[in-house]
Chain A
Amino acid sequence: MADEKQNPEYSAPAIDWESRAYWEGAGRGELVLQRCRDCGVVQHRPRGLCASCLSDDIEHFVASGRGEVYTYSVVRQNQMPAFAKAVPYVVSYVQLEEGPQLLTNIVDCDPDTVTIGMPVKVDFVPTPSKNGDVLGVPRFVPA
């Protein structure tokens, strides 16, 4: 998968304690979101507090991994080496079933066939970190 032309190469994400559960979930092949136990809001990106009510009573849960393309762009120029050879590739906000939107790539399809509203599902690339953490990067493919 990772060697397909439109798929950027992923390196291990920089994690901190607020984001560890998310990236470790991706390492297990799970899309992990947060829900506030006080106000019930589902949020992404993960953080130590609820961004709606500032409660720190946050739980993680495994999302369905299904959603649709909210918007996208086919990137045709990026001078960063890892991406320069991947162009053209698709950057997208995916509207998840659970509510939040997520910035990601749409892969395993011709970039010119991506449309707003297109159903997509999550897929994962393992990205082991140097210190042995099993992490991954979620991206999406046509459903």
Chain B
Amino acid sequence: MSFSGKIAIAGIHEYESRWAPDKTSFQIMGECTREALTDAGLTLSDVDGLFCASMASDAMMPVQLSEYLNIKPRYLDGSNIGGSSFVSHVAHAAAAIHAGLCDVGLILYGSTAASDAMAIGTGNSGGRDPGAAFNTPYGMTLVSSYAMVAHRHMHEYGTTSEQLADIAVSTRHHASLNPHAKMQNPITRADVLESRVIADPLHLLDCCIISDGGGAVIVTSLERAKDLRQKPVVVRGTGESVAHREIGAPDLTTIAAKQSGEQAFAMAGLSPADMHLATIYDSFTITVLCTLENLGFCKKGEGGAFVENGGIGLGGRLPVNPDGGGLSSNHSGMRGIFLVIEAVRQLRGGLGARQVEGAELAVAHGTGGYLGLMHSGATLILSNS
């Protein structure tokens, strides 16, 4: 009954610029729609499902976007579970298509986070949840929420700042091979460790960049995708979940990826060892390390050894974020859609210097929210045959 193997990604587009002060977020999404439809060989009239989330306007986002694009989808999904939303939207689109509720799903994101001078991460953790009053008095920033996870990981497993720095170094190397990446100059471990501390133990270069950007992903049935312009990339497994500060004594280093990853790999009938690459939400270096452990690429506590010295670089044991990730290429507030797009690009092949050779299976994992407070996780497993 599962949709595994029956649904495909037929079109993608990542907005090329990282700086768009002359554009609105809707314009960026409109342009991405046009380019992704062209990529797929479809037209706007084919779109009958719309999936979107935004930092700026949560309320009625699919309604506003339908008006902007002048479409009347028969399936609307504005689920917003944070930056991971777009990874989960692929699963939602797959389910809706499999159930016959729509045929062509369009997933969209656009933002002018950088040109709006949004200072993401170093303000207080506001929040509209009823528990926000218990956080706001204490000045817990987004960065410090992740930093507290990093400290706990270091305490329990001996993980070092050097190991975390190596995540940033590998990712920047990848960005240097991506002409669209925002930060392309290579960095060293020392550069990361000598950059200023934002919230101990996370340095500036342990943190994602802030850019403008957007993207579009088109999902349809594998059957229909076979007649379209691109070789289909097939949805093999999906999972989503949440983790939060449970009553009692929670474990801060077990994150939502554990549950969503188990679901996704089980649906796909595959294991982490089968994956040729991973795109992982790298809001901060610690996010990557915890995600790798919780998805099962290594045992809990062994993430430091897994990532150090190029372990997650091109040519390493598992290339992670070959596009340069949110740490160096594109983090326009919510990054989930770019995880899907880069995984699809890698599985289509032909990316030149940053191509993962022989890439046939990829996992994308998004984390949304505050890792040390409450967050969502969404996992997607894709194949090119």
A residues lining the B interface (CB < 8 Å): 8, 10-11, 13-16, 18-19, 41-45, 47, 51-52, 70-80, 82-83, 86, 89, 91-93, 95, 99-101, 103-105, 116-117, 137, 139
Contact = CB atoms under 8 A, between A and B. Distances in A.
10 contacts: A11-B137, A18-B130, A45-B134, A71-B252, A75-B140, A83-B139, A100-B247, A101-B245, A103-B373, A116-B155
Contacts of B150: 73
Contacts of B131: 45
Nearest to B200: A74
Interface string B134-154: 111111110110011111100
Binding site of A, secondary structure by majority: helix, strand, loop or mixed?
loop
B137 A77 contact: no
A45 B131 CA distance: 7
A14 B198 contact: no
Given A79-B123, A105-B139, A71 B155 contact: yes
Closest 6 CB pairs of A and B: A73-B147, A71-B152, A73-B144, A83-B139, A74-B200, A43-B247
A93 B119 CA distance: 25
B370 to A, nearest CB: 11
Contacts of A8: 137-139
A19 B133 contact: yes
B248 interface: yes
Contacts of A76: 196-200
Contacts of B123: 78-80
Contacts of A15: 133
Given A73-B148, A83-B124, A116-B152, A78 B133 contact: no
A13 B137 contact: yes
A77 B202 CA distance: 11
B134 A72 contact: no
Interface in B95-153: 119, 122-124, 130-141, 143-144, 147-152
Nearest to A96: B249
B149 A71 contact: yes
Interface in B68-120: 119
B250 interface: yes
Contact of B139 (A18, A89, A100, A116): A89
Given A13-B136, A75-B141, A103-B140, 18 more contacts: A8-B137, A8-B138, A47-B130, A52-B247, A71-B372, A73-B201, A73-B202, A75-B139, A77-B122, A77-B143, A78-B141, A80-B123, A91-B141, A91-B144, A93-B148, A93-B252, A93-B372, A116-B151
Contact of B247 (A16, A41, A73, A74): A41
B139 A78 contact: yes
A11 B139 CA distance: 12
